[in-house]
Amino acid sequence: MNQKSKYLFPIIIILGLAIIFSVLTFKHYEGFMTGEDQKEFTATDIKHHKTKELIKTEKAFRTEATISAVGDLLIHSTVYNAAKTGENSYNFNPMLERVKSYLQETDISIANQETIIGGTEIGLSNYPSFNSPFEVADALQEAGVDIVSIANNHTLDRGEKAIMNAINHYETIGMEYVGGYKSNEDKARLRTISKNGIEFSFLSYTYGTNGIPIPEGKEFFVNLIDREAIKKDVEEAKQNSDVVVVAMHWGVEYILFPNSEQEELADFLAEIGVDIVIGHHPHVLQPMKFIERPDGKKMFVVYSLGNFLSGQKDDYKDIGGILQLHVEKLVDGKEKKIDIKVDDFIPTYVSQVDPTKYHVVPLKDAASFGYSQAEVKNKEMLDHMYQWLEEDEINH
């Protein structure tokens, strides 16, 4: 009997423990299946996990693009005669050969085609009523220019035929143009260029047309500076692009600083949300600046890019520049941020060592092309252009 008790007692203990463990396990399992608190916790945990996955795929992406701009192409007779290769043929490519790499290395490039390219059909002409060969546009395209601004005081110099000829040629070679149009339908088409996931839109306006009236009913031939019209255009551009670029033909000729009217217009453009303003007309360089916008962002403006290619000489009229901007787009969910910085500014010089030859060259190299003051003037122009920029507005 004692021997049986010896073995029975441990068995009873083991069985008791097994029963207790089973009861506790069942209670825990029942609570897991029916407990509201546990059920809510599990559902919430799964939901949060899915949200994290969405944030990973949607949350943040960053992309960037670069844009370059040059000033006035004011094609005097001395320039197009120097480019002549035959009775009615011209080649401007050699004139841009030494600077085209600065345009081609950016994603987008814009130029101010100041003289209308109406072609030889209607006869080429010089100041004060310009008409230039089609080949000017061909050379710009070969050099890397994607879009030309044609709203300026010389748009109407040679009338409707010249404008239509120019537009037909731009369309033939596949180059975008802005600021002058062939119809209301053409004007209604917003000019946009997309690069690296960033959509750029382009608008262009001029202060006037040298007193030449716009033909009645054909106001589409040239965009005049009209604040209400600009505001409407910018609103549409902002809805359909990430970056709004506006070319402004404004200011006083041969003055190295913007006047009050330019500054007031720049403030207006900042107020309505423009991102980049490219200024033309003074034929000399005027400084760059960032202007605060009401939304806390900044608008970039260069008041004048001077002459890129022209027959004008001396008093800074043969000095221009190539602007390079860096544009970054950051998307975080529904939030989008555009950040613009100055990548570089390359002063240029129109060399006329031989009166029959024209070459646009970097100003820093112009000593090799007959300009003895090249080094001094290059530093002067860099200081001049950068004087209103803060350190954090320059891309280092």
Output the pLDDT for position 263: 98
Q: Are residues 355 and 273 in the same domain?
A: yes
The residue out of 58, 78, 94 marking a domain boundary is 58
**Residue 217 sits in the same domain as residue 248:** yes
pLDDT-based confidence at residue 334 (cuts at 50, 70, 90): confident
Residues 54 and 177 in one domain: no
Q: Is the pLDDT of residue 374 over 60?
A: yes
Confidence bin at 174 (pLDDT 50/70/90): very high
77 lies in the same domain as 123: yes
- The pLDDT mean for the chain works out to 89
pLDDT in tens, 243-284: 999 999 999 999 999 999 999 999 999 999 999 999 999 999
Torsion of CA 51, 53, 56, 57, to 10 degrees: -110
pLDDT above 60 (res 383):
yes
Q: Are 140 and 113 in contact (CB under 8 A)?
A: yes
> Which of 43, 58, 73 is the C-terminal boundary of a domain?
58
Tens digits of per-residue pLDDT, 24-61? Answer: 544 444 444 443 333 333 333 322 323 323 333 457 89
- pLDDT of 341 over the 70 cut: yes
Rounded distance, CA 305 to CA 385, Å? 9
Cβ atoms within 10 Å, residue 172? 10
Residues 300 and 218 both lie in one domain: yes
Amino acid 52: pLDDT: 29
Spatial CA neighbour of 319 closest among 379, 229, 264, 259: 379
Q: Say if residue 41 is in the same domain as residue 89.
A: no
Residue 144: the pLDDT is: 98
6 vs 129, which has greater pLDDT?
A: 129
Residues 32, 150: one domain?
Answer: no
Q: What total number of domains does the chain contain?
A: 2
Is there a single domain that holds both residue 75 and residue 8? Answer: no
Residues 283 and 335 in one domain: yes
Same domain, 275 and 244: yes
For 177, other C-beta atoms within 10 Å of its C-beta total: 24
For Cα atoms 116, 119, 123, give the angle at the middle one, nearest 5 degrees: 100
CA distance linking residue 245 with residue 234, whole number of Å: 9
Domain that holds residue 16: 2-58
Query: Are 22 and 124 in the same domain?
Result: no
pLDDT attached to residue 353: 81
Residues 9 and 103 in one domain: no
Is 179 in contact with 237 (CB distance < 8 Å)?
Answer: no
Here the CATH number for the domain that contains residue 267 is: 3.60.21.10
State the average pLDDT over residues 135-158: 98
Examine the fold and report which residue of 25, 42, 58 is the final residue of a domain before the chain moves on: 58
Give this prediction's pTM. Answer: 0.85
